[in-house]
């Protein structure tokens, strides 16, 4: 079985993460998602089996968010049953309504603080490892007008969180995030490279980079006889600043395959 030995430090936070992280949208939400195929939300036993498989393969990072339906709640309940030192990254700013299947956003300081308080309770943690602002695309306004990253920096000083950042959608937002915080989460793959300058800047500043949509929410993996998954991992891990690639799967075979291909990419 392939094993991810490497750990990548996040700025000067003391946190070190595996190069592959577990995305958990699919354990909490099946509405208004952009995956190529439909899926059924797994039960608790299936989630625990998947998480144990991930841990035993060297993954120590879980990515979640309030916008992922019941993901935070389920993780809080399930992870207390096992003694594992998971690093959990959650988010603030986006809220999902399960009844309407729609998201709404609120980046005011009051809303962000309330969201983080709720995440502490829901995840059953005394402090949160990583909190990212969940952008709606208006990155610069969120940072400059709402002061969202300043709110996270203050909560970091108060001991609520250990590392802060933003899941951005623009180059400007990514660069501003690196100026003010520890991590920028950006999209990067063979078909989308518009945010590469953010990754390059992270290398210069010794900041963290999380990669989202590395496989285009599954679309890049559903292709011809060519191994697009391996090609994308090879391409992404050629960037030394990449701390972790977040992959959301509830399929043990897919997880095993992804781990094997990340290990291969890291040894090239």
Q: Which residues have a catalytic role annotated?
A: 68
- Three-state DSSP class for residue 47: helix
SS3 97: strand
Dihedral sign for Cα atoms in the order 109, 25, 159, 133: negative
Distance (Å, whole) CA 51 – CA 66: 19
- DSSP at 159: T
The answer to whether residues 165 and 174 touch, using CB atoms and an 8 Å cutoff, is no
Is residue 237 within 8 Å of residue 265, measured between CB atoms? yes
- Residue pair 165/183 in contact (Cβ under 8 Å)? The answer is yes
């Amino acid at each position: 079985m392939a094993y991810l030995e490497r750990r990548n430090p996040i700025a000067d936070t003391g946190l070190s993460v595996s190069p592959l992280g577990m995305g958990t949208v699919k354990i909490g939400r099946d509405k208004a998602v952009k995956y190529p195929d439909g899926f059924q939300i797994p039960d608790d036993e299936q989630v625990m089996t998947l998480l144990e498989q991930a841990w035993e393969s060297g993954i120590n990072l879980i990515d979640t968010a309030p916008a992922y339906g019941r993901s935070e709640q389920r993780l809080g309940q399930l992870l207390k049953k096992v003694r594992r030192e998971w690093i959990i990254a959650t988010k603030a700013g986006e809220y999902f309504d399960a009844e309407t299947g729609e998201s709404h956003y609120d980046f005011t300081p009051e809303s962000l603080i309330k969201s983080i308080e709720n995440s502490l309770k829901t995840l059953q943690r005394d402090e949160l490892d990583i909190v990212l602002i969940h952008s709606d695309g208006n990155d610069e306004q969120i940072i400059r007008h709402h002061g969202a990253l300043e709110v996270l920096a203050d909560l970091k000083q108060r001991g609520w969180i250990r590392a802060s950042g933003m899941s951005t959608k623009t180059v400007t937002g990514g660069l501003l995030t690196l100026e003010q915080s520890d991590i920028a989460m950006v999209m990067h793959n063979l078909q989308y490279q518009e945010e590469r300058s953010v990754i390059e800047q992270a290398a210069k500043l010794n900041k963290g980079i999380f990669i989202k949509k590395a496989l285009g929410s599954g679309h890049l993996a559903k292709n011809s006889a060519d191994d697009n998954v391996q090609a994308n991992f090879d391409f992404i891990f050629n960037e030394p600043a990449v701390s972790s690639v977040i992959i959301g799967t509830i399929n043990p075979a897919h997880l095993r395959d992804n781990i094997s291909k990340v290990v291969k990419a890291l040894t090239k």
